[in-house]
Amino acid sequence: MKNYTWKFEQHQEETSTIVGFIHNAIQNFAKNPIQSIVREGIQNSSDALDDTAGHTQVKVIIRTGEVAKDEIPNLRDIEDHLRICKSRDNNSAENKEIQRHLNHIDNDKFFYQYIEVSDYNTKGMDPKSFLYFTQGDFKSHKDDPGSQGSKGVGKAAYFASSALRTMIISSKSDEGLRFRGTSRISTHKSPLDDSQKLKYQGYFGTTDVVDEADVPLRFRRYEKGTSIFILGSWQGAGDFKKKVITEVLRNYWFAVATDQLLVEVEDEVISSENLEVLMTDHFPSFKDHKTGLNQNPRPYYETYNKGMRYNERIPNIGECSLWLYKNDEFNLGAVARFRKTKMLIYKEDNLYSGYAGVFLCDDPKGNVFLKDIENEAHDEWNPNINPERKADARETIRAIKDFITESFGNYAGVDDSDSFGLDDLNEIFSFTERTPGSTKDNKPDAGPKKSTPDPDPEPRDRLISHHKFSVKQKGGEYIYDVEFTSSKTIRKQKIKFSIATESSRDSVEIVELDEYDFENDTVIIDVKKGENSIRGIKFSTPYLVAPAINSIK
């Protein structure tokens, strides 16, 4: 085995950037390190599929292990560099963060715990990819312009999971085997000469192809692909396995379901064959959240398996698919967005409660387009991200929403022709209106359309731009929810409820509401800018005809 040493380039006072230990990208990924490893690690592996060899499925192994600190000569010298990062020149917060890392490393005098992320049926890294991955900041080199990750910041996810801020990369391609360690700490003095300053990036090994015998046995690759070892990992044995499986299901269920991806976590395989069982075990209910750590993939998995499929050519992104399905236990009414590698991008509540949708663009050119308007976290498509695509992006995002709206109107109408009748007590009734003066498009109204005279014109509501009612029968009574969009934040705002009559709008009395104060036809609520909701309302009139809300002073 070759004798490697850690190398840090000398810091030049007049020309080198001074870099602190608290790095924004690393800190962001550290908020949920397991989710970060799963999303970033698997997307890198998915981008490296070796389809030229006939492979159609990427295999990823995520597991924990340990390596003796003295097993590899000079490896533990990185600790000396980390310790000397503490300095009087730092503020107290920075030194406290460095000490937190040191405390974790010092808990075990003899071993480094690690997390391994290895992929198979993949190409391995070519020279430029290996260089950029180990040595680049905000720099990425991927052959496919539609690669899931191409922003060059995802590697920070690995550093975020390492108390050593260190990872070892072993990658085998057609050219041979490459091996290198890389570390991101801070500008610091040399442990051997305190008169010399060193840069924040350190390297253990080279970017050149090496002989297999030169790579430590534990890190050696024998077939094409890449293995990444996160040294000094924060994760203990505990529930690591369960958390990783949960994040794989949450973010990559679609890729697993379509046999694009197989993941092995410790000793458990996640494949299309056992996906349904794992879904039920890890997500026993259908309750979902739009964002955050409580998101639930199960409504969308069920929608893909049981729902109705619609297809549409959408400007700039080509042929796209949408699956829609109805289940009264679906609480969010959201459509999950995916592109070619089938990692969840984001969800948007375009539907009514009781429905779910799955949107997919796997057109190669469309995949490139959507990648170009995707943020660094890969959880948003935004026309403002890429100025060159801005006009086209607005058109595309609008067309996606129109496709969803039209398909949902069709689906809700044909799914059950009586589903919105008054006699069907278990179904959902939904009403969506513009608030007077609003120009925002309605969501599809799948409910019954009753003929009522137009009420007298009302002045424009400058606070509420759009609202949507839905209702279910519970215990023989109709319970209503309303969602609305506000143009600004106001404390203790009064919201008035009304219904259409033959010649005007009449108030409707509220008889029960748990969450907010109310009086007669008015609810008092702290309104926030953007989306708001008032749920669980019982009115004196059981069935509301053309209900509406208005803000009043």
The CATH number linked to 469 is: 2.60.40
Q: Dump pLDDT digits (tens) for 358-416.
A: 999 999 999 999 999 999 889 999 999 999 999 999 999 999 999 998 899 888 864 33
Same domain, 379 and 526: no
Mean pLDDT, the chain, rounded, equals: 87
Query: 413, 437, 456: which is the final residue of a domain?
Result: 413
In a domain, 424, yes or no: no
Going by pLDDT thresholds of 50, 70 and 90, the confidence category of residue 473 is: low
Instruction: Compute the average pLDDT of residues 47-60.
Output: 95
Query: 413, 445, 479: which is the final residue of a domain?
Result: 413
Per-residue pLDDT at 152 exceeds 70: no
Q: Could you tell me the two tokens for 520?
A: 């007669």
The amino acid that residue 310 corresponds to is Y
Q: What is the pLDDT of residue 120?
A: 98
The residues near 245 (Cβ < 8 Å, ≥ 6 apart) are: 265, 268, 270, 278, 282
Going along 174-215, which residue ranges are E strands? Answer: 176-184, 188-189, 197-210
Q: How far apart are CA 192 and CA 84, in angstroms?
A: 10
Same domain, 369 and 483: no
Per-residue pLDDT at 210 exceeds 80: yes
In a domain, 277, yes or no: no
In a domain, 422, yes or no: no
Q: Which residues pair with 309 in a beta bridge?
A: 323
Instruction: Compute the average pLDDT of residues 290-312.
Output: 95
Going along 211-349, which residue ranges are E strands? Answer: 225-233, 261-265, 268-270, 308-314, 318-326, 335-338, 346-348
In a domain, 264, yes or no: no
Number of domains comprising the chain: 3
Q: What is the pLDDT of residue 468?
A: 85
- Per DSSP, the three-state class of 100 is helix
Going along 99-175, which residue ranges are E strands? Answer: 111-120, 162-173
Q: What is the pLDDT of residue 217?
A: 93
- Per DSSP, the three-state class of 545 is coil
Instruction: Name all contacts of 440-445 with Cβ < 8 Å and 24+ positions apart.
Output: 440/465, 440/466, 440/485, 441/405, 442/466, 443/350, 443/351, 443/352, 443/405, 443/408, 443/468, 444/405, 444/406, 444/408, 444/409, 444/412, 445/409
Query: 257, 291, 316: which is the final residue of a domain?
Result: 257
Q: Could you tell me the two tokens for 48?
A: 């490296």
Residue 73, CB-side half-sphere exposure with 13 Å CA sphere? 7
Strand bridging mode 517-519 / 522-527: antiparallel
Q: How far apart are CA 301 and CA 287, in angstroms?
A: 13
* Closest to 413 (Cα-Cα) out of 447, 451, 442: 447
Same domain, 492 and 406: no
Same domain, 106 and 225: yes
Domain that holds residue 376: 283-413
Q: What is the pLDDT of residue 414?
A: 40
Per-residue pLDDT at 150 exceeds 50: no
CA separation, residue 484 to residues 186, 439, 533, 549 (Å): 47, 14, 6, 9
Q: Dump pLDDT digits (tens) for 11-36.
A: 999 999 999 999 999 999 998 999 99
Buried b (16+ CB within 10 A) or exposed e, 176-198: ebbbbbbbbbbbbbbbeeeeebb
Going by pLDDT thresholds of 50, 70 and 90, the confidence category of residue 506 is: confident
Same domain, 486 and 536: yes
Same domain, 364 and 478: no
Same domain, 289 and 402: yes
pTM (predicted TM-score)? 0.74
Same domain, 225 and 196: yes
Same domain, 295 and 351: yes
The enclosing domain of 25 has a CATH number of: 3.30.565
Going by pLDDT thresholds of 50, 70 and 90, the confidence category of residue 237 is: low
Q: What is the pLDDT of residue 293?
A: 87
Same domain, 317 and 386: yes
Length of the chain: 553
In a domain, 418, yes or no: no
Same domain, 305 and 241: no
Same domain, 206 and 312: no
In a domain, 268, yes or no: no
Q: Which residues pair with 7 in a beta bridge?
A: 203
Q: pLDDT: is 478 or 196 the higher one?
A: 196
Per-residue pLDDT at 432 exceeds 50: no
Q: What is the pLDDT of residue 436?
A: 39
